[in-house]
Structure 1
Amino acid sequence: MRVNGKIAVITGANSGMGKASARMLAEKGYHVVMLVRNRERGKEALEELEKAFPGSFQMILCDLSDGDSVRAAAEEISRKCSGLDILLNNAGLITTKRQLNEVGLEMQFAVNHVGHFILTLTLLPLMREGARIVQVASGAHKWGEIHFDDLTLEKNFRPFKAYGQSKLANVLFAEALSGRLKPHGITVNSCHPGAVGTNMGVNRETGFGRGIMSLLKPFFRTPEEGADTAVFLATDPSVEKVTGAYFYNRKPMAVAKKAQDRELSEKLWRWTEEFTGVSFKEMEKNMGNSSVRN
C-alpha cells in the first residue's frame, strides 16, 4: 500500500536532530520516512515515535557511505510513497581517524556530501511542485576547502579538515541545485544548526568521545533547538519561495566567500556527477511526468 498525503524524508532520523525533526514534522501532519543506517537503533526510534504519533512513520535502511544502499533506499521510497514534499538531508558524520568507504572515498565526504547527492538526485522524479529540500550544513564550511588534488586527504588528514571540506560541499551543492530546480518550483536551502549535543563524533563501538560530549552537553543546544531552523525551512509559509539561501536561527546569513564561488560549485558538481554516475539531466527528464506526482 502506497502512502499518500504530505510526505517527508529525513536522513539520520534515528537519533539527535533527525529524530527531533521527525517528531516535529509528524506534529505538522507529515508522514515521515526515516532513513537510518542501523536497523536496531532505527527500530527503537521508530517505536518511540509511533507511541506519540501512531501510523505517522516508516523506516527504511540507508547507509549513506554506500552508493548502492542509497539507490536501493530511493527505489524503496519511490515504491512506497505517492510523492515527496520534503527532503531533509540531516545526517552528518565526523570521524577522529581517517576512514575510507568501499570505493575509496574519505568517509566524511562520502556520507555528508556524496551520499546525499545520490539520494537527492535520484528522488527528484518523486518530488511534487512546491517541494522543499533542506541541507543541514554547518558553520564549519567557513574553514573548509575542497581538496580536488587529494579528496581522500591521504596526505594530511585532520578530523576538522575533513569535516570542513564536507560541509563546504553541502553549501556548494545546495546552491548549485537550487538554480537547477528553480524552474521546477522546488526550493533548496541549507542551514547551520548551531552547536548541538548529539552523538555525532562518538564512536558507537568503543564509546570514545562520550565522556567529552557529556561534559560539554550543558553548553550545547538540544536536538529540538538544533532542528528548529531546518524544520522552519521545510514547512514555514514565509520561506516557501526562498531558495539558494543559508540560514541560522531562522534568519538568512552570509556564507563564506568560497561558498559563493560559482566556478567552484560547478567543478564540484561535475566531479560528483562523474564519480557517482548520477546525472541531473537524466533525472530531470522524469520530473513532472511521473505517475507518482499528484
Structure 2
Amino acid sequence: MTGQRRIGSGFDAGSTASDVLAGVDLRGKLALVTGGYSGLGLETTKALSAVGAHVVVPARRPEVAAKALPGVEVGRLDLADQDSVRTFAEDFLASGRGIDLLIGNAGIMACPETRVGPGWEAQFAINHLGHHALVNLLWPAVRPGARVVMVSSRGHHFSGIRWDDVHFEHGYDKWLAYGQAKTANVLFAVHLDTLARDRGVRAFAVHPGRIRTELGRHLTREDFAGFDGDDAGYRSPEQGAATQVWAATSPRLDGMGGLYCEDCDIAEPAPAEGEWTGVREHAIDPEQAARLWTLSAELTGLDRLSRP
C-alpha cells in the first residue's frame, strides 16, 4: 500500500486531457487505444493524436470508428472473441511496428447476464480476459520504456475477485460482476508491472471519474437515480480522459508502476468501507494479482511474460 500516495501532480478532477498533455511531444510514438472511438476513448485518441502520436484504434465496430476518427488507423477487434484478439495481434505484429503506449479503455458495464466464448461471464471476459490476451499476444511489439494503462473504475469497490465463482454460475448480479471485472483491471496492472518492470515497461490502472457515455447503455432510470444522489456529479469526456492520458505520459510517474490513479494523481488507499474514494486493498494485493494472472493464463492459454 505504500506506493498509493498522492504526489501533487498539479492537476485535479477538473483537468482535461489537453491540460495534462500541454508541452508533451509524442511525435514518433505509437499508441494503441482499445475502444478509442467513442466516449473516453475518443477523447483519448484525439488528445494523443493532437500531440503527435500515431494512434491505432482496435474496434469492435471498425466502420463506426473510421467515421468518428478520419485519418486514424483502425483495426477490427472484438474483446469478447479470443480468436478475434489473436487475429488482430497477428496482423499488428506482422507490420513490424513497436508500441509505446497501450491503453486498455474498452469495456462494458452492468449488462444483463451474458455468456461469451466457452461460457465466460461477459464483463470479466471482455473487460479483463480480452485485454489479458491482447497484451500477451502483442508483447513482442511492446517497446522497452512503454506504459500500459488499464481503465478501471471506482466500481472496483463493489467486489473483489470471486474465486469460488468467477463466472457467476450460481446467481448473477450485474454490479458485483462489474465490480469484479474492474478489480481485475487493477490486479492485471499490478502483476503486469511486476513482470515487465525489468524491461522498463510500467503499468497503471485508473479511475476516470463519472461521465455520461455509451458505457451506460445498459443502465436503468433507477440506476442513474442512485448515482445522481451521491458525490460530486459528472465530468465531461475531456475531463474523464485526463487521468488515463496522464498515467500514460506523465514524467512524474517515471520509475513508478503497479499503481491505481484517480483525479490525475496517484490515489490514496480507500479510507473506510462505504467511502467511495481511493483504492481498495483487494484490488492492489500482489498475491491476488499473481493468482489472477495464473487463472487468466489458464483460461486464455496465454502467458507470454512469465513463460515466453
Interval of TM-score (by shorter of Structure 1 and Structure 2): 0.7 to 0.9
1:148-227 alignment to 2 at 5 Å?
148-202=163-217, 219-227=233-241
User: After the TM superposition, which of the residue ranges 262-271 and 18-27 deviates more from structure 2?
Assistant: 262-271
Distance 1:187 1:200 in 2: 27
Helix, strand or coil at the partner of 2:56: strand
Displacement, 1:82? 1.8
Helix, strand or coil at the partner of 2:73: strand
Question: Conserved in 2, the CA contact under 8 Å of 1:13 and 1:35?
Answer: yes
Aligned length: 268
Helix, strand or coil at the partner of 1:202: helix
1:34 matched to 2:45: no
1:121 matched to 2:144: no
Higher RCO, Cα 8 Å, sep 6+: 2
Cα displacement string for residues 139-170 of structure 1 (whole angstroms, at most 9, x for unaligned residues):
11122121222222132211111000000111
Distance 1:129 1:212 in 2: 43
2:289 to 265, 283, 290: 265
User: Gaps spanning 5+ residues in structure 2: where?
Assistant: 1-26, 270-278
Question: Conserved in 1, the CA contact under 8 Å of 2:195 and 2:306?
Answer: no
1:12 to 16, 35, 54: 35
1:45 to 59, 62, 68: 68
C-alpha RMSD of matched pairs (Å):
2.3
Displacement, 1:235? 1.3
Match for 2:103: what amino acid? L
Distance 2:260 2:112 in 1: 29
Give the fraction of aligned pairs with identical amino acids, expressed as a percent: 36
Helix, strand or coil at the partner of 1:60: strand
TM-score, with length taken from structure 2: 0.81
User: Match of 1:237?
Assistant: 251
Distance 1:40 1:82 in 2: 23
Helix, strand or coil at the partner of 1:133: strand
Match for 2:238: what amino acid? E
Displacement, 1:40? 2.7
TM-score, with length taken from structure 1: 0.85
Moved over 4 A (4+): 208-216
Match for 1:278: what amino acid? L
User: Match of 1:275?
Assistant: 299
Helix, strand or coil at the partner of 1:268: helix
Question: Conserved in 2, the CA contact under 8 Å of 1:96 and 1:201?
Answer: no
User: After the TM superposition, which of the residue ranges 237-246 and 181-190 deviates more from structure 2?
Assistant: 237-246
1:84-103 alignment to 2 at 5 Å?
84-103=99-118
1:77 to 68, 92, 112: 92
Displacement, 1:116? 0.4
Considering fraction of residues, name the structure with more helix. 1
Cα distance change on mapping 1:224 and 1:71 into 2, 3 Å: same
User: Gaps spanning 5+ residues in structure 1: where?
Assistant: 51-56, 286-294
User: Match of 1:291?
Assistant: none
Distance 1:213 1:8 in 2: 33
Distance 1:130 1:281 in 2: 16
Distance 2:305 2:36 in 1: 29
Helix, strand or coil at the partner of 2:100: strand
Helix, strand or coil at the partner of 1:103: coil
2:280 to 236, 249, 256: 256
Displacement, 1:23? 0.3
Displacement, 1:281? 3.9
